[in-house]
Structure 1
Amino acid sequence: MAGKEDILTRARIDEALDGLPDWRYRLGGLVTAYKAPTAAAALELIAAVGRLAEEQNHHPDLDWRYNRVFIRFTSHDAGGEVTERDTRAAAAVSAAASAAGAAAEPGLYRTVELAIDTAEAAAISEVWRVALGYKRVEGGNDLVDPFGRGPNVWFQETPTPNSSRIHVDVHWSKAESGPVLEKTAATGASMNRDHAPDWVVVTDVQGNRLCLCTEEGYDPEA
C-alpha cells in the first residue's frame, strides 16, 4: 500500500515519462489511449491489463470504445497522486499493448472538469454533491465521481465571481495542445494566453468561457 510519502514529485514523474513514451501526466495520474487492430484485439488487451492489475494489485480506470482502450493509473491510497506503483504498472501495460499490436494514441486522452466561480464554496458544494451523487475530495469542497465516469467539479473561490460563473476546463497534454489551440483560435473565439502554457482562457462570441489546460504548473506536492 502506498502512502502520501510515496508521491512522486513532478521532476521524478517527468523523468519516469522519459522512459514511458506511451503515457502522459494528467491531474494526479498517468493516462494513455491505445488503438488495437480490431475490437476483439482491444478486448484481449483489456484482459491482459486485468491480469497485470491482479498480479500487481494495482488497478487502473479503464474505458473501452470499439478498438480503442483508454487507461488511467493513479494511487488512490496516496491521495490520488502518482507513485512508483503507477510507473511500474504503466510500463507493464505498454509491453502488453506492444505484444497485442496496439498503437499508443495518448493525445486522445482528454479530461474535462466543471469549474464554478463562487465567493463561498462551502455554501453551495453540498447541493452539487447530492445532486450528482459525487463525493468530496479529502480536505476540501471539490467533488469527484466515485466511479470516475463523470467530470470533476471544482469551486474557484474569488471575491469577484465572473458573470459567467460556470465554465469547463478541458485538459490536454502539452505535447498535443498546440493544434487544439490553433483550431480553437480559428473559430473566432477570444484567446487569453496570460497563463499559457498552464491554461488559456477561451471566450466565445456570447461570453461563455472554457479553459484549455495542460499539465504545466500542476504540482502534486501543492
Structure 2
Amino acid sequence: MPAKDVLSTEQIHANLLQLPLWRYGLGALRTALKCESSAAALSLFAAIGELAQDANHHPDVDWRYDTLFVTLTSHDAGGKVTARDAALARSISSQAAAFGAVVRPELLRTLEIAIDTDDAEGISGTWKTALGYKARKDGSLADPFGRGPTLWFQETETPNANRIHLDVMIPFVESASVLEALSADGVALDYEHAPMWVLVADAQGNRLCISTEAGRDLG
C-alpha cells in the first residue's frame, strides 16, 4: 500500500525553502556535502547513519574521500519524496553544520543513458539481462542497488543515427551555469524542450541532454 505522506512538487519546493543544503532532482532530495577531511566525512557518514536508524528511514549515501553524496526518497512510496524525507533532510542539515560541512550543489549531476529505438520491447530484454537491472513501470531499466545509471528507451519512428546519448540530470537552479559554459565553448544547443532538457551536440555530432526537474511532475 503506497505511503500517505507523499509530497507534491509544490510541497517539495516549499520544503526546499527551509532546506538550503538540498536540491530536488530525478524525483529525490539530494545534497553533496564537502568536509574538511576524509575522516570528517566518515564521521558525518556515521552520524547520518545514526539519524537514519533513529528515524527508521534510510538514505542512499555515497562516500567519496572528503565528500558525501546523499539521496533521499521513500521506497515504500514507490521512490517518491515524502514528509519523512524532508524531516530527515532537516536532521542531516543540522549534523552537517555541526561537522562544518559545506554544500557543493554544482556536484549534483546524475547520469542516465537513453537509446533511440522504434521497438523498445525488442531490445530492452537484452540490456536488462546484460546489466542485471530491473524493469520499472515506465519501461526504463534501473540498477537495483542504485550504483549504475538508469537506462531508458526513447521511442521514435525515426531513430537518430547516433542512437545512444547521455542525459545529465542537474538541479534546475544549477543548470544555467553549465549551459553558459557549454555555450562559451561554442557547442550547439537546442532549447526546444527547455527547461526539461536542452539538447547538446559536440563538434562531431555526438549528443547529450542537460536535463532538469523543471516542468516534470516527479513529486
Q: Is the 8 A contact 1:201 1:209 kept in 2?
A: yes
Structure 1 residue aligned with 2:163:
165
Distance of 2:84 and 2:117 partners within structure 1: 37
Aligned to 1:143: 141
Q: Could you tell me the TM-score, scaled by structure 2's length? A: 0.96
Contact 1:7 1:220 in 2 (8 A): no
Q: 2 CA distance for matches of 1:157 and 1:4?
A: 31
Note if contact 1:116-1:154 (Cα within 8 Å) is conserved in structure 2. yes
In the other structure, the counterpart of 2:212 is 214
- How many angstroms does 1:5 deviate by? 4.2
Match for 2:164: what amino acid? I
- What corresponds to 2:127 in structure 1? 128
Structure 1 moving runs of 4+ over 6 Å:
none
- After TM superposition, give the deviation of residue 164 of structure 1 in Å: 1.3
* 2:70 corresponding residue in structure 1: 71
Any idea what the Cα deviations from partners look like across 1:125-152, whole Å, max 9, x if unmatched?
A: 1111111111111x23211111111100
SS of 2:44's equivalent in the other structure is helix
1:170 partner SS: strand
Query: Where does residue 113 of structure 1 map in the other structure?
Result: 112
Q: Does residue 205 in structure 1 map to residue 208 in structure 2?
A: no
**Whole-Å separation in 2 of the counterparts to 1:164 and 1:29:** 30
Is 1:48 aligned to 2:47, yes or no?
yes
SS at match of 1:6: coil
CA deviation digits over 1:72-102, x for unaligned, max 9? 0011111111111110111110001011111
Query: Structure 1 residue 57: deviation in Å?
Result: 0.9
- Following superposition, the deviation at residue 118 of structure 1 comes to 1.0
Report the secondary structure of 1:114's partner residue.
strand
Secondary structure of the residue aligned to 2:24 is: strand
Structure 1 window deviating more from structure 2 (154-163 vs 47-56): it is 154-163
Counterpart of 1:191?
189
User: TM-score, normalized by length of structure 1?
Assistant: 0.95
Secondary structure of the 1:183 match is helix
Report how far residue 178 of structure 1 moved: 1.4
CA distance in 2, matches of 1:153, 1:118: 13
Unaligned runs of 5+ in 1: none
The amino acid across from 2:210 in the alignment is L
Once the two structures are TM-superposed, the CA of residue 111 in structure 1 deviates from its matched residue by: 0.4
Q: Aligned residues: percent identity?
A: 53
| Counterparts of 2:169 and 2:31, CA distance in 1 | 13
- TM-aligned CA deviation for residue 183 of structure 1: 1.2
AA aligned to 1:134 is Y
Equivalent residue for 2:59?
60
Partner amino acid for 2:70? I
Which residue number corresponds to residue 12 of structure 1?
11
**Amino acid corresponding to residue 22 of structure 1 in structure 2:** L
Cα-Cα RMSD: 1.3
Could you tell me how far apart the structure 2 residues matched to 1:77 and 1:153 are? 22
